[in-house]
Amino acid sequence: MPTWATPESFEPRPHAPMLFRNVRLLDPSSGTDEAGNLLVVGGEIADRGPLVGNDGLPEGAEVIEGRGRALAPGLVDMRVFVGEPGYEHRETIASASRAAAAGGVTTIVCMPDTDPVIDDVALVDFVMRLARDTAIVNVKPMAALSKRLEGREMTEFGLLTEAGAVAFTEGRRKITSARMMRRLLTYARDFDALVVHQPEDPDLAAGGVVNESEMASRLGLPGIPDEAETIMLMRDLALAGLSGGRYHAACLSCRASLPLLRIAKERGFRVTASVSVANLALNETDIGPYRTFYKLSPPLRTEDDRQALVQGIADGTIDVIVSNHDPQDAETKRQPFEESADGAIGVETLLAAALRLYHSEDVSLLRLIETMSTTPARLLGLPGGGLSRGAPADLVFFDPDAPWVVERERLCSRSKNTCFENARMQGRVERTVVAGRTVYSYDSEA
């Protein structure tokens, strides 16, 4: 049975040390995938190795028998739409953090397109206070690139970074003006701020609701061509090169984007990219009979695209896997396909869905953890993402092989718009630890 902790502020007592014994230690930061023990004391990783804890343990230490199950740095999900403030009926920081904990995600990075928009120091501060008081995992806000997300005036990158914003993005919105994007990247460079942008030309994509393809035509649905993504991506990459700013393309969806990214990286531009786990696990045919839970942005594309994205994760062209968690209430989804909202929840199923690539032998377990923990932590300047001594004890303990079925009603998100309903998953989170404190546990024997 699953169990969640309550927010730290309700029980601010020191947490007992814990020893994970005989676990498969996955640490992409040091490239290790080996059996061993790991000791957590005072919220930090105190030690790790084959013999750690064998000659005595700190008083009151909890011992967790690994029996070969995996222990990895907790996941850092770089793209989570929460809804608080402004859309609490979809998701609150508290409910998103419980979903994250159940999914082995120890840090969620929330998007700024809330109401009000997170474009001001006071809003960043508000979100961080709310997170401190109500969340059971780390919550880090990205701030808006432009004031009110209008794409005209840049926000205070310096002051917002000092306040705790980990990166800057328009969320679902796009920066249409190339001049604006150039200035944003140029200004961001001085603060080493990361500019995160979903590359999609809103003009070319206008009206589109699915991938533009034969299938879309048969369904009679307007499509979004690959070029909506590649044209904008080319522009952004060129401007990243011109300005020297750090750029991150959020949620790539098509094969044609990969060579563009490779060229930019070869030229030494400071660019990275992510893909939503849905685009790695599903393709456009999953939409079937107009199932609106599969209406996503970017859209699910062809199987050929999906395979290319998987290859991109395996070979390092794509750096990060995100959940693109986007809670929508039933009313906005229970609509004709064209009129329904985009998006699906996913933070809770991120690890399990990504593990499909491991079970299909396309991507190693270590590489998967790297894309969901080590790399996002590095890009955002967060501690964690590794299992080295002294690192914060943000951990996910999971059985990579345990089978389970996604039951919609059991998901913690306030909204239930999952595109993995009734999906068979292999790989279950058994315990999630944030700063040395167990925030979620699943007792498979109970």
Partner 1 sequence: MTSALATSPIGFAHRHLLGIEGLSRFDIEALLDLSDKAVEVNRQVEKKLSTLRGRTQVNLFFEASTRTQSSFELAGKRLGADVMNMSVGSSSVKKGETLLDTAMTLHAMRPDILVVRHHSSGAVDLLARKVGCSVVNAGDGSHEHPTQALLDALTIRRHKGSFENLVVAICGDVAHSRVARSNIICLQALGARVRVIAPSTLLPTGIDRFGVEVYRDLREGIRGADVVMMLRLQRERMNGAYVPSVREYFRYFGLDAEKLALAAPDALVMHPGPMNRGVEIDSEVADGAQSVITEQVEMGVAVRMAVLEALAAHLPNA
Q: According to the binding rule CB under 8 A, does residue 189 interact with partner 1?
A: yes
Q: According to the binding rule CB under 8 A, does residue 20 interact with partner 1?
A: no
ω before 116 within 30° of 0 (cis)?
A: yes
- Say how far apart CA 302 and CA 177 lie, in whole Å: 30
Alpha helices, DSSP H, located in 135-210: 157-163, 178-191
Provide the CB-side half-sphere exposure for 131 (13 A, CA): 21
Cα end-to-end span (Å), the chain: 6
Q: According to the binding rule CB under 8 A, does residue 132 interact with partner 1?
A: no
DSSP 52: T
Q: Residue 331 is encoded by which pair of tokens?
A: 């009313």
Nearer to partner 1, 154 or 419 (CB): 154
Q: Which of 16, 33, 126, 186 binds partner 1 (CB under 8 A)?
A: 186
Q: Sign of torsion, CA 444 62 31 29?
A: positive
Smallest CA-to-CA distance from 137 within 443, 442, 441, 432 is with 432
Q: According to the binding rule CB under 8 A, does residue 383 interact with partner 1?
A: no
Nearer to partner 1, 192 or 286 (CB): 192
Q: Which of 158, 316, 383, 403 binds partner 1 (CB under 8 A)?
A: 158
Minimum gap (Å) between residue 154 Cβ and partner 1: 5
Q: According to the binding rule CB under 8 A, does residue 143 interact with partner 1?
A: no
- Say how far apart CA 216 and CA 285 lie, in whole Å: 10
Nearer to partner 1, 146 or 413 (CB): 146
Nearer to partner 1, 147 or 172 (CB): 147
In this structure, are residues 185 and 170 in contact, taking their beta carbons and an 8 Å threshold?
no
- Say how far apart CA 338 and CA 334 lie, in whole Å: 11
Amino acid identity of 406? V
Nearer to partner 1, 141 or 400 (CB): 141
Choose the binding region for partner 1 from 181-189, 257-265, 301-309, 359-367 (rule: CB under 8 A): 181-189
Choose the binding region for partner 1 from 156-164, 294-302, 361-369, 375-383 (rule: CB under 8 A): 156-164
Q: Which of 7, 47, 147, 231 binds partner 1 (CB under 8 A)?
A: 147
Q: Which of 106, 146, 283, 302 binds partner 1 (CB under 8 A)?
A: 146
Q: Sign of torsion, CA 252 254 258 261?
A: negative
Choose the binding region for partner 1 from 32-40, 86-94, 147-155, 257-265 (rule: CB under 8 A): 147-155
Q: Which of 45, 123, 124, 154 binds partner 1 (CB under 8 A)?
A: 154
Residues 6+ apart with CB under 8 A from 82: 91, 92, 93, 96, 108, 110, 111, 114, 327
The residue count for binding partner 1 (CB under 8 A) is 17
- Footprint of partner 1 on 240-259 (CB under 8 A): 243-244
Which residues bind to partner 1, rule: CB under 8 A?
A: 146-147, 152-159, 183, 186-187, 189-190, 243-244
